[in-house]
Structure 1
Amino acid sequence: MITTVIDQCLILLIFLIIGFLCSRKNWIHKKHISSLSNLLTNIVLPAAILTSFNVNITAYNLNFYVTIICISLFLVAFPFLLSKLLVSFTKMELTLKKVWIGCCTYSNILFIGIPIIGTLYDEKGLFILVIYNTISNLFLFTLGIRLYKNDVNFKYIGTTLLSPALLASFLGILLLILGVSLPKTLTAALDELGSMTAPLSMIITGALFGFINIKKFMASKNIYIFCFVRLIMIPGLVFLILNTFITDKVILGVMVLSGGMPAGATNTSLATIYSDKGPETSQYVVMSSILCIITLPILMYVLSL
């Protein structure tokens, strides 16, 4: 099980290194990043979201769904509010505070989560992960976009509900409820597209990382504080809170591990599209992806006690 965690993290790092080398070799220029980010958020990620709904829902009752939805809402709101509180004590500029909040709130759920959760908790764990991922995406592509756009006006938030990622989520939920399957050929095509999510998102992140000052990055205290909050404080507090009333070990395990995932690379793409903080965002994604090789096995050990 620990090997699965390490393998998935190392795969992410390989993609990061490829992106980093591409930018340093000028194979990927800054002007390419926005187009690649649009490809990721409008085509590749929606395909991955849609295919993630290929699960069996008949084995669970209404109480199960209500419990998972409520905990998922908590797992989105809690990191958001905690990080917002923490950055209020810092002297970072406003746009960087918002990057900090976004990276704390929206983590790498699917690529690392699916193999780990699937190995530990089988189909039930994967279904819980799909529900949490759906709710997280709902907030990421509505409130998350407003966050990165530095726009607190929610008047036009309805337009973000028509984003490809959310449309894929709504379609996936509808197909799941109706018990309808997409044609086999279309499903295969979507699977292939969706499998590009991790490589493309991490290559974009690695490329942006190639444009920053490495020495300045390594000396930044904010990066290490962020990683402590994202990888240790959040899952630790989630465990302490949920463990008081959640008796189902699968639900508890999935939610705690999801809370301890590194910052999602989609943050980098959204920061690139909607603000000028893509390179800064990539720093949080890179460092948390590296350090989670250490922290995730520790979380798994604690959950096994």
Structure 2
Amino acid sequence: MDFFPVASSIFTLFILIGVGFIAYRVGYLSRSGASGLSSLLVNVSIPCLILESMQVPLSSGLIHSMKILLLIEIVVYAVSFTIAVLVPYFFKGSLFETGVMRFMLIFSNLGFMGYPVAFAMFGEESVFYVTLINLPFGFLVFTIGVFLLRPDLASHPDVKRIITPGLIASFIGLFLLGTGLTIPSPLNESISLLGDITTPLAMIVIGTFLAPLPVYDMISDIRIWAISGFRLLVIPIIVLLIIRFFTSDPLLIGVSVLLAAMPVAANTVLLSEEYGVNAELASKGVFISTLLSLVTIPVIGVLLLT
């Protein structure tokens, strides 16, 4: 495994976080401006990214791969959900903080970091599998993920807060995938361009949320370190041990475990801000877990090669 491309992908994200951090500190971006960008990401850019990721031609080979990956992803999310239910009980936090912690444990940064890191470790063929694994991600984030962050919506449903552009995009994307229909040009190119701004803009927004926090506050929250340990090492190792029982394809195993080992999803920050919960806690989770992933991803890579 070549460590340099992996490290380069992670450092690129940190540079973008640094841009947001500096932009806030020097006054180029205010908190309200960052909130506006976050809302743009959640309601426009991410839905476009979901639609673009589902523009995949349906074939017999794709259907076979999807069946295997479906089993693998059931394992991944079953392990993640189990840990997400148990771990927050050991930490103090409000109802909404518990929801943020559970969201961080379940959803990894497989969209923003998955493509470049998988390409660096497994080559061009892995990109296809990353795309397939990303398919259910947007749907789950905008359904189960929303209820995790705002459990009050489950008991007092607010249709306007639940039927989001992200959820609508997920259903449209699934319909297009199932029917084989494609979005015509130039609309498709516009959607692609809007989706492409997601990663850099999301990292910049995270930087702006970290900027007001004292350095000690960013690194002293023991909950974040524990959650990062489960997110980066415990979950992917358990997944690796289980999925080896029903597939021997090294690429399928490698890509699936690698994506399960990604740091906390950047969407955690964006949705926490959008739904009025603890975006600072989410920002610390993304920052610390991404920093630690510089060490843990090569460790997972070594395990996959043994």
d(CA) in 1 for partners of 2:21 and 2:119? 30
Residue by residue over 1:103-140, the C-alpha shift from the partner in whole angstroms, topping out at 9 and shown as x without a partner, is 11111111211123245455653333233222122121
1:130 aligned residue: 131
User: Is the contact made by 1:118 and 1:126 (CA closer than 8 Å) also made in structure 2?
Assistant: yes
**Structure 2 Cα separation of the partners of residues 250 and 159 of structure 1:** 41
- 1:239 counterpart = 2:240: yes
Aligned AA (1:294) = V
| Alignment check: 8 A CA contact 2:265 2:286 kept | yes
2:84/2:105 contact within 8 Å kept:
yes
Question: Shift of residue 51 of structure 1?
Answer: 1.5
Compare 205-214 and 60-69 and name the one that shifted more: 60-69
Pair 1:254 & 2:255 matched: yes
* 2:150 paired with 1:174: no
User: 1:72 touches 1:131 (CA, 8 Å); kept in 2?
Assistant: no
- My pick for the range that moved more, 115-124 or 19-28, is 115-124
Give the structure 2 partner of residue 292 of structure 1: 293
Deviations 1:155-205 (A, max 9, x none): 738766642223222322333333333334322222221111111111111
- 1:269 corresponds to which residue? 270
Identity among equivalent positions (%) equals: 27
Q: Is the 8 A contact 1:109 1:258 kept in 2?
A: yes
Moved more, 276-285 or 112-121: 112-121
Unmatched 5+ residue regions in structure 1?
none
**Which letter maps to 2:130?**
L
**Which moves more between the two structures, 18-27 or 194-203?**
18-27
Residue identity opposite 1:189 in structure 2: S
What CA distance in whole angstroms lies between the structure 1 residues aligned with 2:9 and 2:109?
11
Task: Determine the C-alpha separation between the residues in 1 that align with 2:50 and 2:89.
Answer: 33
Read off the aligned partner of 2:141 and give its amino acid letter: L
8 A Cα contact 2:79 2:238, kept in partner: no
Which 5+ residue runs of structure 2 have no aligned equivalent? none
| Pair 154,117 (structure 1): closer, same or farther in 2 beyond 3 Å | farther
Aligned residue number for residue 4 of structure 1: 5
Which residue in 2 is equivalent to 1:84? 85
TM-score, normalising length: structure 1: 0.91
Amino acid at match of 2:150: K
Residues in 2 aligned to 1:248 and 1:184: alpha-carbon distance in whole angstroms: 37
Q: Which residue identity is paired with 1:167?
A: I
**The residue matched to 1:136 in structure 2 has which SS?**
helix
Q: 1:8 deviation in Å?
A: 1.2
Q: Which residue of structure 2 lines up, in the alignment, with residue 281 of structure 1?
A: 282
Say if 1:95 and 1:273 are closer, same or farther in 2 by CA, change over 3 A: same
Counterpart of 2:69? Answer: 68
Amino acid at match of 2:236: P
Q: TM-score, normalised by structure 2?
A: 0.91
- Larger mean CA deviation between 254-263 and 164-173 belongs to 164-173
- Partners of 2:9 and 2:83 in 1: how far apart? 28
Deviation readout 1:211-242 (Å, 9 max, x if unpaired):
21211222222222121111111111111111
Q: Which moved more, 1:40-49 or 1:68-77?
A: 68-77
Provide the C-alpha distance between the structure 1 equivalents of 2:108 and 2:153, rounded to a whole number of angstroms: 22
Contact 2:100 2:278 in 1 (8 A): yes
Q: Say if 1:33 and 1:272, in contact at 8 Å, map to a contact too.
A: no
Shift in alpha-carbon separation, 1:155–1:279, aligned structure 2, 3 A:
closer
Q: In structure 1, what is the equivalent of residue 44 of structure 2?
A: 43
Question: For the structure 1 residues 49 and 245, does the alpha-carbon distance in structure 2 shift closer, same or farther, using more than 3 Å as the test?
Answer: same
Paired position in structure 2 for 1:151 = 152
CA distance in 2, matches of 1:238, 1:12: 26
Answer yes or no: is the 8 Å Cα contact 2:54–2:135 preserved in 1.
no
* Paired residues of 1:80 and 1:102 also in contact (CA < 8 A): no
**After superposition, what is the alpha-carbon deviation per residue over 1:71-93, rounded to whole angstroms, capped at 9, x for unaligned?**
22332232122022011122333
Aligned equivalents of 2:284 and 2:109: distance in 1? 14
Alignment partners' CA distance in 2, 1:160 and 1:63: 36
Q: Which amino acid aligns with 1:224?
A: W
Does structure 2 retain, via aligned residues, the 8 Å contact 1:232–1:295? yes
Helix, strand or coil at the partner of 2:183: coil
- Judge conservation of contact 2:104–2:264 (CA < 8 Å) in 1: yes
Closer, same or farther in 2 for the Cα pair 1:7/1:129, shift >3 Å?
same
**TM superposition shift of 1:141:** 0.4
Per the alignment, residue 189 of structure 1 pairs with 190
